[in-house]
């Protein structure tokens, strides 16, 4: 089974964006935000949005199942307050849940959390519980920078995050470390902020002892880990200088995905990072949607790159394509086993 560990609902019907525009316009003003019941999207509209886009490409590229979460750039936790984020997270999670229900064999739900700058992360626990217990989420997106490029939040190893980690560990739900839109003009959202955050998150984990306190907690760092694999020697050297363990010691808890959009990048990732710690993913219909004129194929058709990574053995490739995901997402593995897959 080929499992794409990183998909977002980037093709949601336009009513969703229109509703959000009204909510954003009302945020911080005396105007009351729109009623969630004002957002009406029928099942047929959801089917069309998925079938003509993600599902079509999955079939063309040979992907069996996608772990599917709300659009990352739409999370925008820096807009409004916790109340705004709470309503928005609920709406987005409900939509993704409906997709996973309409296409149960092809999509597994990932959830967003109602984070807000300066607000205790424990406030996200009710939505986390709802997403896992009621909606069937197998993972959540955790934003290490709810301020949107200002980096006002404490590092991921800070104890303020611990209530969330306790719940994630108890549920056996991993978190994908994924920022959202950058409101800082110095950081392009997908070209800089995303990759900066991936790299920053790994360095924070290297500096701390989080997994001593949460030995079963698992994080997925997307986009190939940002700069981490490319600068593995730097991280090893910094670990020595800081009297920290080798970065390899994190790789039972930290995983990188294959959202890297050229062959040399995938080759480097899968040579530097052990295959047991790499998850196949594409983030297709995401940040990079065009066709590479040098290859004639879409940049985000990452299966082509993994297929062509000649140094991977058949067993290693199988682990990257699906075996690792079933280990990292126990709730997904249980769901597939119950369905006889």
Hey, which residues are catalytic here? 283
CA–CA separation, 286 and 4 (whole Å):
13
Pairing of strands 107-112, 219-221: unpaired
Contacts of 296 (CB under 8 A, 6+ apart): none
The rounded distance, in Å, linking the Cα atoms of 91 and 340 is: 31
Give the residue carrying structure tokens 């987005």. Answer: 92
Q: Which two tokens stand for residue 339?
A: 């369905």
Tokens standing for residue 189: 């959202």
Q: What are phi and psi of 317, to 5 degrees?
A: -65, -40
Euclidean distance between CA atoms 34 and 88, whole angstroms: 11
- Do 210 and 104 contact (CB within 8 A), yes or no? no
- Per DSSP, helices labelled H in 242-329 are 263-272, 302-307, 314-318, 324-328
Question: Can you read off the two tokens belonging to residue 79?
Answer: 């807009």
CA distance 287 to 300: 9
Q: What residues does 109 pair with on adjacent strands?
A: 68
């Amino acid at each position: 089974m080929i499992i794409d560990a990183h998909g977002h609902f980037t093709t949601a019907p336009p009513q969703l964006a229109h509703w959000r525009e009204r909510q954003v316009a009302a945020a911080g003003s005396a105007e009351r935000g729109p009623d969630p019941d004002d957002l009406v999207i029928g099942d047929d509209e959801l089917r069309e949005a998925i079938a003509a886009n993600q599902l079509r490409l999955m079939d063309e590229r040979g992907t069996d199942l996608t772990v599917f979460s709300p659009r990352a750039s739409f999370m925008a936790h820096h807009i409004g307050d916790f109340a705004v984020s709470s309503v928005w997270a609920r709406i987005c999670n409900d939509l993704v849940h409906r997709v996973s229900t309409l296409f149960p064999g092809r999509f597994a739900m990932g959830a967003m959390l109602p984070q807000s700058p300066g607000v205790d992360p424990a406030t996200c626990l009710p939505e986390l519980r709802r997403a896992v217990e009621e909606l069937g989420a197998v993972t959540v997106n955790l934003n290490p920078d709810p301020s949107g490029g200002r980096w006002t939040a404490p590092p991921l190893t800070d104890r303020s995050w611990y209530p969330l980690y306790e719940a994630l560990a108890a549920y056996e739900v991993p978190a994908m470390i994924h920022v959202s839109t950058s409101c800082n003009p110095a950081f392009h959202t997908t070209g800089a902020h995303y990759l900066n955050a991936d790299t920053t998150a790994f360095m924070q984990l290297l500096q701390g002892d989080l997994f001593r306190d949460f030995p079963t907690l698992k994080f997925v760092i997307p986009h190939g880990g940002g700069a981490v694999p490319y600068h593995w020697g730097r991280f090893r050297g910094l670990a020595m200088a800081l009297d920290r363990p080798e970065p390899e010691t994190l790789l039972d808890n930290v995983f990188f995905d294959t959202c890297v959009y050229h062959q040399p990048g995938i080759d480097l990732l899968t040579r530097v990072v052990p295959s047991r710690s790499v998850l196949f993913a594409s983030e297709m219909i995401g940040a990079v949607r065009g066709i590479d004129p040098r290859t004639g194929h879409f940049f985000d058709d990452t299966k082509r790159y993994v297929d062509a990574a000649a140094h991977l053995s058949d067993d290693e490739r199988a682990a990257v394509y699906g075996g690792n995901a079933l280990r990292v997402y126990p709730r997904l593995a249980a769901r597939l086993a119950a369905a006889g897959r």
